[in-house]
Amino acid sequence: MKSIQGKVAVITGASQGIGRAIALELAREGASVALIARSKEKLMAVASEAEKLNAKAGVYPCDATDSGALRRTLDQVMADIGSIDILINNAGVGTFKPLEQMNATESEAPVALPFGAAVVACHHVIPGMLAKKQGHIINLTSPAGYFPFPYMVPYTAARFAITGLSYGLHEEFSRRGIGVTLLCPAQVDTGYFKQNDADMGWYPRLAQIFPVLQPEQVARQAVRCIKKNKREKIFPVLLWFAVKFYLKAPRFTFGFLRLFGLLRPVKEPPR
């Protein structure tokens, strides 16, 4: 998709952080943006910012874990703005702690968001993209979508599932006019640990090796991926190298990480 001008883009988790930044970057490129998240008030603020960029913005409060509500919301977007050209699956949750310390909700939540919501959204918008023989889907993941980190097992499993979803969609639809990108930044300064029950103390020390990115950096990469029809983008370069090395020699890599204590929590809280 060489030009984003005039396209209709749906962004989940658009009220803040990466979702907000991608929505505004798409607005700068001339797209109409449909903003989906739970908080209407926060979405209204993002919509106001997008409109200042001369973009059309729609606010669609929705709990993306409710598949029926998400499908109805996507239908409303199409009725209000038009058929969907770009889908950004960004919304996600996750709790970081030993599995035995999680309650049932904490252990099950990542199955519904990001993974379940992404499957529902893709299933709902792809027929329209096929009819036009064009479209682009971006699935956000994290390093946990490649490395099986401890102390975040449901989150890691969900991110692995997003990776598989994106790869599978690419193989099925890339020759039918739909671009699919798996977008994997290192840690991003979004306030995630303040807004979710995700204790940074359980995060692996390996994460401290990589620079902390800003949401705007991720947004710019997202737009580049759409325009260049990238299958996958892992950044920064150090993270790309680490992922590729791990995929070539997984047991050696994890042995090395354990040897130097890089899989241990940043600051292990009391059990």
Among 87-91, 175-179, 198-202, 260-264, the minimum mean pLDDT is found in: 198-202
Q: Which residues contact 21 (CB under 8 A, 6 or more apart)?
A: 214, 215, 216, 218, 219
d(CA 135, CA 169): 12
Smallest CA-to-CA distance from 18 within 41, 37, 44, 5 is with 37
Does 159 fall in a domain? Answer: yes
pLDDT at 265: 87
Among 5-9, 44-48, 132-136, 267-271, the minimum mean pLDDT is found in: 267-271
Q: How far apart are the first and last CA of the chain?
A: 50
Does 14 fall in a domain? Answer: yes
Does 42 fall in a domain? Answer: yes
Q: Is 167 a catalytic residue?
A: no
pLDDT at 16: 96
Average pLDDT (103-123) is 95
Does 138 fall in a domain? Answer: yes
Does 268 fall in a domain? Answer: no
SS (H, E, C) 15-36: CCHHHHHHHHHHHHCCCEEEEE
pLDDT at 269: 55
d(CA 266, CA 201): 5
Which structural domain, as residue segments, surrounds residue 255? 8-259
Which of the following is catalytic: 155, 192, 203, 246? 155
Does 2 fall in a domain? Answer: no
Phi, psi (rounded to 5 degrees) for 215 = -55, -35
pLDDT at 95: 87
Give the three-class secondary structure for 71. Answer: helix
Give the three-class secondary structure for 136. Answer: strand
The predicted-structure confidence for 247-261, as pLDDT tens digits, reads as follows: 999 999 999 999 999
| Residues 134 and 173 sit within 8 Å (Cβ to Cβ) | no
Beta-strand pair 32-37/57-61: parallel
Does 78 fall in a domain? Answer: yes
pLDDT at 207: 84
pLDDT at 52: 98
pLDDT at 94: 87
How confident is the prediction for the chain on average, in pLDDT? 94
131 CB neighbour count, 10 Å cutoff:
11
| Residues 14 and 20 sit within 8 Å (Cβ to Cβ) | yes
d(CA 43, CA 201): 30
Beta-strand pair 57-61/232-235: unpaired
| Residues 86 and 5 sit within 8 Å (Cβ to Cβ) | no
Residue 129 has pLDDT above 90, yes or no: yes
CATH code, 63: 3.40.50.720
Domain total of the chain: 1
- What is the pTM assigned to this prediction? 0.94
The predicted-structure confidence for 179-226, as pLDDT tens digits, reads as follows: 999 999 999 998 665 655 556 678 789 888 999 999 999 999 999 999
pLDDT at 199: 64
